[in-house]
Amino acid sequence: MKKFLFAVAAFLPVLASAQNAQPFTIKSKLTGITGPAKAYLVYYLGANNVTDSASIVNGEFRFDGVVMDPVNASIFIDHKNLGFAKYIEQNFPDGGPSKTADGLSFFLEKGNISIAGKDSVATADVAGSPTNDDNKALKTQLKVIIDKAKAIAQEAQKATAEQQRSAAFQNTMQGKYKTLQAEQKTVLKNFITTHPASYISLLALSSVSGPSPNVAEVEPLYNLLSADIKNSEGGKQLKIAIDALKLTSIGATAPDFTQNDVNGTPVRLSSLRGKYVLVDFWASWCGPCRQENPNVVKMYNKYKAKGFTVLGVSLDKPDGKAAWLAAIKNDGLTWTHVSDLKGWSNLAAGLYGVQSIPQNFLLDPQGKIVAKDLRGDDLDSALEKLLGKI
């Protein structure tokens, strides 16, 4: 669900260099604040976290500074003049905002930005900022999809535990998520196509790519972006990521690796040449992985006689070997399993750019990647196409 219930502003970390510094000015008027209070502006300048403060006089305050590219920022209003440390302690006790927190998240960029409201910055309007205008427009377009995602989540929560364990139920829900993801991609792609000079298009593109990007889909959209957006630090980082993805794109020869199996015996991926191999990244602690395992078991048993096998690569932690072995036994995973037990630092996962699990890559008998990120019925359809109907 996190793929759908998102804040567009959080998609892509922004790195910056001092040569691109551009001035900004924020002028704000909150007509309902009459007493002494303080405003705090929090944002990143390159790798540095900046916290600036301004006194609120007759409801007005102002910030001046520099940014490189548009960057996600927050303004907090300290109505009681507690001081920033005390304000954060009282209003963010568990890391998230309490009911008393008064904050606004927005894009900070070069130029003059106006923030106007009554007695709360949380409900104030931001004006004079093209990036914030574009972000608002895109979020409006995505609202219907977010509402559908919430409805699907509620449907899943209402299901019984037995239903949730059912492969048929999981495949049905996966199908609904897949349809919704396709709708989301259509909206994002249309926005990128019609707003090539918008920084929001760069962020939207990072969402289109998702946890298992398809270079053939992402690179043409990147090429549509304006020169200024490509030359932003975020644009440069995305280009580096796209070039790296080509190593594991469909049609590429799968990078080889060796890791130990459950008995400590080294297993080399290329030793499985001659078969269709599903390289399946998972972990014993990963709920969605465990939910998908019955489907992988079903496909393994269905197609193994026709030259299909699975190589499980676990992202279990250094102290997780017992849990890993127990999950293999309890889930009936009778294929070969390997791991270096380094968690998210698993070297094979790094080689394949794995940032979320479950994630998988289907290789042909010559070791070339023919499909990626197959779930539920998609895995069955891909294997049926390659190996024939059973």
pTM of the shown model: 0.69
pLDDT at 338 over 70: yes
List C-alpha distances in Å: 294 to 37, 171, 288, 300, 333: 58, 11, 11, 10, 9
Domains and CATH numbers, the chain: 10-128 (2.60.40), 132-248 (no CATH), 258-387 (3.40.30.10)
Q: Express as a percent the part of the chain with pLDDT over 70.
A: 94
* 112-137: burial string, b at 16+ Cβ within 10 Å, e else: ebebebebebeebebeebbbbebbbe
Q: Which residue intervals of 210-355 are DSSP H helices?
A: 215-224, 227-230, 233-245, 287-303, 321-330, 347-351
Mean pLDDT of 246-256: 92
Supply 350's token pair.
């790094």
pLDDT at 307 over 90: yes
Q: How confident is the model at residue 211 (pLDDT cuts 50, 70, 90)?
A: low
- Looking at residue 208, what is its pLDDT? 84
Contact 228, 253 (CB under 8 A): no
pLDDT tens per residue across span 267-285: 999 999 999 999 999 999 9
pLDDT tens per residue across span 19-59: 468 999 999 999 999 878 999 999 998 888 999 999 999 99
- Looking at residue 172, what is its pLDDT? 87
- Looking at residue 118, what is its pLDDT? 94
pLDDT at 210 over 80: no
Quote the mean pLDDT of the chain. 90
User: In 3-state terms, what secondary structure has residue 117?
Assistant: strand
Q: How confident is the model at residue 216 (pLDDT cuts 50, 70, 90)?
A: confident
pLDDT at 12 over 80: no
How far apart, in whole angstroms, are the C-alpha atoms of residue 303 and residue 308?
Answer: 6
Mean pLDDT of 99-119: 94
Supply 189's token pair.
């792609």
- Looking at residue 339, what is its pLDDT? 97
Contact 359, 281 (CB under 8 A): yes
What residues contact 261, with CB distance under 8 A and at least 6 apart? 267, 336, 337, 338
Q: Express as a percent the part of the chain with pLDDT over 90.
A: 70
How far apart, in whole angstroms, are the C-alpha atoms of residue 193 and residue 183?
Answer: 16
pLDDT tens per residue across span 125-181: 999 999 999 999 999 999 999 999 999 999 888 888 888 878 788 888 888 988 998
Mean pLDDT of 317-335: 96
How far apart, in whole angstroms, are the C-alpha atoms of residue 331 and residue 323?
Answer: 12
- Looking at residue 214, what is its pLDDT? 80
pLDDT at 224 over 90: yes
- Looking at residue 93, what is its pLDDT? 83
Q: How confident is the model at residue 60 (pLDDT cuts 50, 70, 90)?
A: very high
- Looking at residue 164, what is its pLDDT? 81
Scanning the structure block, which residue is given the tokens 């080689």? 351
pLDDT at 6 over 60: no
Mean pLDDT of 301-309: 96
Q: How confident is the model at residue 84 (pLDDT cuts 50, 70, 90)?
A: very high
Which amino acid, one-letter code, is at 211? P
pLDDT at 3 over 60: no
